[in-house]
Each structure stands twice: as C-alpha cells, then as structure tokens.
Structure 1
Amino acid sequence: MRALPVRRATAVVTATVVLGGLPTLAAADAPAASATSASASQHAHPGPVRAVPLQGAVNVRDLGGHRTSDGRRVRYGQVFRGDALGRLADADLAALSALDLRTVVDFRTPEEVARDGADRLPGGLVPTARPVADLGLYATTTTAIASKDPVRQRELLGGGKAERLMRDIYRAFVTDEAGRRQFAATARDIAHGKGAPLLFHCTSGKDRTGWMGYLLLRAVGVPSRTAERDYLLSNAYRAEADRKVREGLKQGGFMENPELLVPLQEVRADYLGAALNQVRKDYGTFHAYLTEGLGLDARTLARLRARLVR
C-alpha cells in the first residue's frame, strides 16, 4: 500500500477523520503503515488479544479471549473488529478468507465511503452499511487541515475543543436513536447466528467500532475494566500509523502543530466515560441501556452470551 505524497494531498484534503477516523490524507512521503504496526502491537500485548495482521489495515483483531466475571471466556473466531478495509492487498483478502466471515458491517457514513472507497472483501462478501453519524467531526477536521492556517487550526481544534467534540460524539452513541439502531442490529445479527462470524468496522476502528466492541463484551459478562482495556488497545495498534499522519502533515506544510490532532486520533478513558455517564443519566444501568436503549430483550441477550461465551 503506497501513501499519497503530500504534494498531491491538496487534491484529496478530505482526510479520513470521521468518527473513528483520522486524517490519512497526508500520509506524506513517509511509507504507509503496514502489518508491522499490528504485529508489533500484538507482541506488546500478548494476553488474550489476537490481532489479524494486514498490509492495508492496522487495527483488525478478534474480540475473543477475554474472561467473563464468572470465569468463562469469550470465544475466538466469532466476532472481529477493525478499521477501514478499502485498501487491502491481495494477501489481506486471503487472510480475511481464512476467518470464514459471513458478515462485514460498515459503520462509516456514505461520505466516508465515497471518499475512501468501499470495502475490498473476499469473493462472496458484500458489506452491510450501517452508518453512524459523526456530529461534524469530518467537516471540522477537514476545514482545519485544508486551511493550512495555524491560527484557524488552533481556533477549531485547540483549547480543549477537539476533546469536547470527542466527548460529544461518545455521548451521541447513547442518545442518537439512529445510531442505537445500527449497534442493536449488529448485536442481533451475532445473537441469532445469521451473520457470524462477523466483522464490524469504521474508518480507524476505534470510536464507533470501539463502542460496539465495548458494549458486546459488557453484554456477555466481561467486567467493565477488561472491556475498557480492549477499547484502549486501539492506541497501541494505531500509534505508528497515526504518527506518520502527523509527520506527513507537518512535512507537507498542512499543519504547523499536528499535535492538535492527537485528541482526535486517540481513544481515551475520558471519552468512554462520557458515553457511560450518559448511559447512567438516561438509563440508570448498562443493562437498561442494552434492553431499553438498544431494545435487546432477555432472549436476545441470552443467545448472544450462548454464542460468544464458552
């Protein structure tokens, strides 16, 4: 996978920043991130996490392996989480084929898909589009980068604005009815066995995908601290790719201070906490969010646990 030179990036200043995304627009003259990023992170976090090293994506991993509060374990090979799949190499397609996927759920918005391209998948697989809105994250970040103006970029992203936007996005995972429907439909696909093995993804595989992974783990009895650690692992898997994005933006003259993007590139306990605080405000308990907010009845939750936990 070859990165776009920065001097060509002006023509594509549409970055990959939507919720769960970051500006890959200026991957600059630095080489694109490859499977080495994921594999290196896998060695850094041996535990139960099984990465799926790919050349065209850096944050694809099995959701299995985590222990539940009653000492059981989430099954491997049933649910996978990932980042955008539009730039997969031929070898990546072979790796995905080996997972025997039946369903790929894409949380990206139509704007993201139009910009970055549809998923490239093994033969016979067609992505299921379940877009979740970004509350203007894409537009704000694109405007900031395209301006090449340090003052304007600080106005849009500095002074805690980027962090506040991310917290708003996470609260919307709970409050936005359309988004809740997309998350719930994905959980039902898994519970009823029609779509598993299943992979869900967004652009960077960290926010929409991170929340979906978190809620699934909690739904089947994984303790909150363990589910949070899985969510936070995106920082390790994405670190090198995101560093190259910032480096490319600076070298290409797009940003004097690309560190302004770090709050958008990272996952943080504070962001997850914003969603969980909203859960408590609106529903009282996480279980009530699952049953009332997502409409997952007791039978569906039991099926989900039976399918995912051994």
Structure 2
Amino acid sequence: MSRARICLATGVVVSALAVGGLPAAALAESPAKATVAAAATHPYRHSDSVRQIQLQGATNVRDLGGYRTYDGDTVRYGQVYRADALGKLTDADVTTLGRLGLGKVIDFRVPVEVQYDGADRLPSGLTATSRPVTDNGLYAQLLTAIGSRDPVKQEEMLGGGKAEAFMKDVYRTFVTNPENRARFAETLRDITDGDRRSPLLYHCTSGKDRTGWMSYVLLRVLGVPSRTAESDYLASNDYRAAYDAKVRAGLKQSGLMQNPDLLIPLQEVRTDYLGAALAEMEKDYGSLHGYLREGLGLDYRTLAKLRGRLVGS
C-alpha cells in the first residue's frame, strides 16, 4: 500500500473512530453484503418488530416508531428516523429514502468525518443540516496511533481499558458540553415543530453514539420505558456487527494494525457508555427532566407538544 493511500485510509478510519464508529469507506466492502436489498414497494412493514430501513449503502437506518409507552400508547411510525452515514447510498437507496417523504435531515458528524466519508446522498431537493457534535479530541489521538502502524503505541493508547474510558468521556460530553446540548435541543425542537407529512431523520457516522443518545432521550421523553429505550440503543451492535468485523479484518490485512480488536470498544455501544451519560445527567441536573429543562432549555409546553406530535394513532 502506498504512503498516500495509507494516509488516506488512516484518516478515513480515524475520522469515524473519533465518535466511536467506522464509515462505509474504511478499508472494507460496502455494507450491501450485510443488508438485504430494499423492498420494491416499501422499505419495511409496520407489523415487523424490526424497524430497520433496508439499504445497501448503510446498515443502521431505523424508524423510531412502534414502541409502546408507559400508558399504553404507541410512538407513531414514519415520523422520526435514526441512521448512520448516508454518503455511500446507492441510487436505489436514494429512491428508498425518497419514499419516506423526509422533510429534514440532520447530520451530527464533525467536518473531518464529512471530508473523508462524504456528504450525504439524499433525494432531490433535500439538503442535510450540519449540526456537529464534538468528537472530544479523539481524532487527533487516533491519527497518531493508527497512522504510526506501531502496535506498541496502539496498545498504549487503546489497550488496558483506555478505549472504554475515552468512550465514557465522550458520552459525558453529551451532557456537559454546551454546544452539544444546544444541538440536541435544536433537534428536539425541529421534531416538535415538524409536520407529520415531513418526517425528520438524524444521523452520525455509525448511527450509534450521538444518534444513540439522541434516540434514547427522545424515546424517554415520549414515555417509552427506560429498558425499551436502552434496547433500541443496544440494537446498533446487532446491525453493525458483521460490517465492523470486516473493517477490523481490513485493518489487519492492510498492516495498519496488528491487533484491530483494540477498536472493538470504539465500534460497540455498551450500557456502561450510556450509563456514564446518565450518571452525569443526574449529577448535573438531578434527573432526565432536569436535563431537558435546564440543560436543553425545553419547557413543559414544548415537551407536551413533542409527545402529542409523536404519540398516538
């Protein structure tokens, strides 16, 4: 592999790892082999317990509808979607997204991720709204480690629980960083003020950390039990497992890493990561509602309107 190609590949991997995932471009095949081709008439059936939107160029695109709330209501289908990066979608995938009737797409990726993984491919007339959530400085650290091709340095940076600890720090910034809070709040307001005829989709690179936190908070606001919201969060591991394994194999084969399993804590979502954000939330705001009101600036009227918008028949 040439020096230039190594630098590019390293940048692609690191830009995604900066938020705990890996992009469709990173040293591995398209996610097409890990997913089923989109259905001809609709990307999924409402009766299915699995809410995945089946695409060839993305693996973790899901409808947040269908979950039951504490009081027996149901989150409406076809209103809010969560996703991973949309830069590698096929023409057929773009057509599938077009059938969803999306009115807005929000991209939580930082600029360097967009640079290496590509801007979203979206239906005509739809442009993603950039709303970057910080990577907490992980990009620069991993650029040094992976780019060095030095297994000792990589072990020093990622081994011995260091990767897990860094991920917990990233999750804490979802609560402590004012800019992050502002961007999550903007997204909830966009959903609240949206129209049923114009669904909203938000995404990051792997659709699991920033997107996972946003989805967990939204489901809890809607009255979905914490265990159910946590299950939605953890489901990213199932959707991404095959593809992420291919990425690790590609890194080993390329010689960039002797032990790519060091990346597993960065590729996965874990209850400990979610727990770190929730513990920070309780410490700073006392409860989820404190985080919503004081941290995100959402009053009771807004939260009631949000629930009315997304819950019911």
Q: TM-score, normalised by structure 2?
A: 0.91
Post-superposition offset of 1:143: 2.1
Post-superposition offset of 1:38: 6.5
Q: Does 1:12 pair with 2:9?
A: yes
Equivalent position of 2:231 in the other structure = 229
Deviations 1:241-288 (A, max 9, x none): 100000001111111110000000000000000000001100111111
Amino acid at match of 1:213: S
Give the Cα–Cα distance (whole angstroms) in 2 for the partners of residues 133 and 184 of structure 1. 15
Equivalent position of 1:217 in the other structure = 219
- How many pairs were matched up? 302
SS of 2:190's equivalent in the other structure is helix
Post-superposition offset of 1:10: 4.1
Change in Cα spacing, 1:5 to 1:308, as seen in structure 2 (3 Å) is farther
Equivalent position of 1:198 in the other structure = 200
Aligned positions of 1:1-310 closer than 5 A = 8-14=5-11, 15=13, 16-22=16-22, 26-28=26-28, 31-34=29-32, 36-37=34-35, 48-193=49-194, 196-310=198-312
Post-superposition offset of 1:9: 4.4
Post-superposition offset of 1:135: 0.7
Amino acid at match of 2:21: G
Give the Cα–Cα distance (whole angstroms) in 1 for the partners of residues 106 and 73 of structure 2. 27
Give the Cα–Cα distance (whole angstroms) in 1 for the partners of residues 95 and 75 of structure 2. 25
Post-superposition offset of 1:139: 2.1
Amino acid at match of 1:237: Y
Deviations 1:131-172 (A, max 9, x none): 000111222223221111110000110111100000000000
2:24·2:57 contact (CA, 8 Å) conserved in 1? no
Change in Cα spacing, 1:110 to 1:149, as seen in structure 2 (3 Å) is same
After TM superposition, the structure 1 stretch with the greater mean CA deviation from structure 2, 117-126 or 15-24, is: 15-24
Give the Cα–Cα distance (whole angstroms) in 2 for the partners of residues 86 and 287 of structure 1. 35
Amino acid at match of 1:77: G
2:174·2:181 contact (CA, 8 Å) conserved in 1? yes
Give the Cα–Cα distance (whole angstroms) in 2 for the partners of residues 35 and 221 of structure 1. 36
After TM superposition, the structure 1 stretch with the greater mean CA deviation from structure 2, 263-272 or 282-291, is: 282-291
SS of 2:31's equivalent in the other structure is coil
Deviations 1:85-110 (A, max 9, x none): 11110000000000000000000011
Q: CA RMSD in A?
A: 2.4
Post-superposition offset of 1:13: 1.5
After TM superposition, the structure 1 stretch with the greater mean CA deviation from structure 2, 56-65 or 4-13, is: 4-13
Give the Cα–Cα distance (whole angstroms) in 2 for the partners of residues 253 and 207 of structure 1. 28
Give the Cα–Cα distance (whole angstroms) in 2 for the partners of residues 277 and 139 of structure 1. 27
SS of 1:200's equivalent in the other structure is strand
Give the Cα–Cα distance (whole angstroms) in 2 for the partners of residues 89 and 220 of structure 1. 33
Give the Cα–Cα distance (whole angstroms) in 2 for the partners of residues 136 and 152 of structure 1. 18
After TM superposition, the structure 1 stretch with the greater mean CA deviation from structure 2, 14-23 or 242-251, is: 14-23
Post-superposition offset of 1:303: 0.9
Post-superposition offset of 1:26: 4.3
1:37·1:238 contact (CA, 8 Å) conserved in 2? no
Equivalent position of 2:40 in the other structure = none
Post-superposition offset of 1:117: 1.5
1:20·1:207 contact (CA, 8 Å) conserved in 2? yes
Give the Cα–Cα distance (whole angstroms) in 1 for the partners of residues 192 and 23 of structure 2. 34
1:13·1:25 contact (CA, 8 Å) conserved in 2? no
After TM superposition, the structure 1 stretch with the greater mean CA deviation from structure 2, 6-15 or 209-218, is: 6-15
Change in Cα spacing, 1:13 to 1:5, as seen in structure 2 (3 Å) is same
Percentage of pairs with the same residue: 60
Change in Cα spacing, 1:24 to 1:62, as seen in structure 2 (3 Å) is closer
SS of 2:183's equivalent in the other structure is helix
Give the Cα–Cα distance (whole angstroms) in 2 for the partners of residues 25 and 149 of structure 1. 23
Q: Which runs of 5+ in 2 are unaligned?
A: 38-42
Give the Cα–Cα distance (whole angstroms) in 2 for the partners of residues 110 and 209 of structure 1. 16
Give the Cα–Cα distance (whole angstroms) in 1 for the partners of residues 153 and 25 of structure 2. 19
1:20·1:208 contact (CA, 8 Å) conserved in 2? no
